[in-house]
Structure 1
């Protein structure tokens, strides 16, 4: 098999592994909403992940174990992906369903395209803009349940809006991480962003514990260990490894699989019904994302893949 083709297949496998385990994060995170606060659970899972990364980094070359000229980019990566994204995501899961949250996450590729246009001057094509609008219609349909009367009462689910904020933060993280990957490997970037963000999370967790004490039981401990090893350590590494092979735009196309995995897991483990609004809204979001991502200049796609392959 052609080495480039094999590298692409491995990259696709990595990003799909990431979206699958992150979908399980939505499900299990909602199961813990009455036992632990959002910042505390984020601190616990990234503490476990940091231990795993510390062990792995010991076997990496010396240059990969040091912070260099990209220190500020790593700090921005830590702020968006570690400090802000997870707590806000768990906060949103207190007020909405895992099915809703995973489908809304399908907006991430489109928001990433907007942020890329603003911050790294990669303009969106007309088809990308149309795809973004189509996906936005899907989100509005999902939130309203397809009922026009919803807009008359203007009663929003605050959990859905919180999840939208988390998605926007993830878009920023994706753009920043694509810059960091130009200077270091995926495991090094993932590890150092976790190391930098963890102390800040722990500091906020101390304050949260005064308001939301932890209710310890066996289920909390087991799920927390799972969240630290699988969605945090494996999920973040797999995503960045996929970006390194496919480029940010190539990887973000497959982020749209998260709603599919999330809806399935939410239905299987939380007994959450999947109704017409979820199906129609989800199809619009996914169709918009795929439509937007497919229409890109070939040269630009090749450049992004080549940048990722340098890692």
Structure 2
């Protein structure tokens, strides 16, 4: 009887893990859609990023204080604390800024596929920085993935979109910064609770975002219309706070490998939503490009 109870408990835990992984992936896939819709309201990148953090930061501050004063979580050492501050500024400030800035120039579909290539960048950085092995499987994944990205880029450039190349460079830089963040954060996460790590990193990024805003904008720039605030609220809550904790919980329940497999649905969800809500075109170039990228990254996920 006990074995059956344990089995049922494990199955329930596994199903919850899958649910958290898919839910977090789906919510994060909405990010590009909310950003594009907010831009249509006349909001610029820095203002929208600031509004996003204004919405998200109180939640991370609450989790940070709860973990420190209401639980027995181990406080990070001074060296780890400083490392998390730097990593948070890299990922949730610098990477987010370049990504959102790039969305001014390219479609949500191309942006999402380019961001999806960060595991390959992480593998290359591991080889470059720590002499990790680049296998033939990784090389094949690189060829397939970036062939898909180049195909979609060529399609958008052919349509005559202004500054498509600039958008590609900005989003590539965003993905590269995020890959560096992942490479170094793995070493810190071995010593620090993941929820505490995420909260400190987000609060660090919030500080840098506010500094950037105050240096480039008057406070009156935050007085945007109600539609822009609505999209900023959706972006901060449903595409930042909730998916960050849902994906962390998913990894804890089912492991990083299974959680990453569920992440394959992310580009598909974004592309479908971009066609429906942003009226972006979808043709053979998009279909083939999407399949090449997903297949390429899946090669990397296979053991």
2:204 to 193, 196, 199: 196
Q: Report the counterpart of residue 4 of structure 2 in structure 1.
A: none
2:168 to 160, 181, 185: 160
For 1:90 and 1:237, the matched residues in 2 are separated by: 21
Q: Report the counterpart of residue 48 of structure 1 in structure 2.
A: 55
Deviations 1:152-188 (A, max 9, x none): xxx8532123212212222222233333332233321
Gapped runs of 5+ residues in structure 2? 1-6
Q: Report the counterpart of residue 281 of structure 2 in structure 1.
A: 273
1:205 matched to 2:213: yes
Q: How far 1:58 sits from its partner (Å)?
A: 3.8
1:102 to 92, 100, 112: 112
1:93 matched to 2:118: no
Q: Report the counterpart of residue 305 of structure 1 in structure 2.
A: none
Q: Report the counterpart of residue 19 of structure 1 in structure 2.
A: 25
Question: Against the structure 1 CA distance between its residues 87 and 128, is the aligned structure 2 distance closer, same or farther, given a 3 Å change threshold?
Answer: same
Q: How far 1:286 sits from its partner (Å)?
A: 0.3
Comparing 20-29 with 253-262, greater Cα deviation is found at 253-262
Q: Report the counterpart of residue 249 of structure 2 in structure 1.
A: 241
User: Normalising by structure 2, what TM-score?
Assistant: 0.84
Question: Against the structure 1 CA distance between its residues 173 and 255, is the aligned structure 2 distance closer, same or farther, given a 3 Å change threshold?
Answer: farther
Where 1:280 maps in the other structure, the secondary structure is helix
Where 1:160 maps in the other structure, the secondary structure is helix
CA contact (8 A) 2:76 2:191 kept: no
For 1:77 and 1:12, the matched residues in 2 are separated by: 28
Comparing 235-244 with 82-91, greater Cα deviation is found at 235-244
Gapped runs of 5+ residues in structure 1? 297-311
Q: Report the counterpart of residue 308 of structure 1 in structure 2.
A: none
1:82 matched to 2:92: yes
User: Normalising by structure 1, what TM-score?
Assistant: 0.82
Q: Alignment length, in residue pairs?
A: 289
1:255 to 258, 263, 274: 263
Aligned alpha-carbon RMSD (Å): 2.8
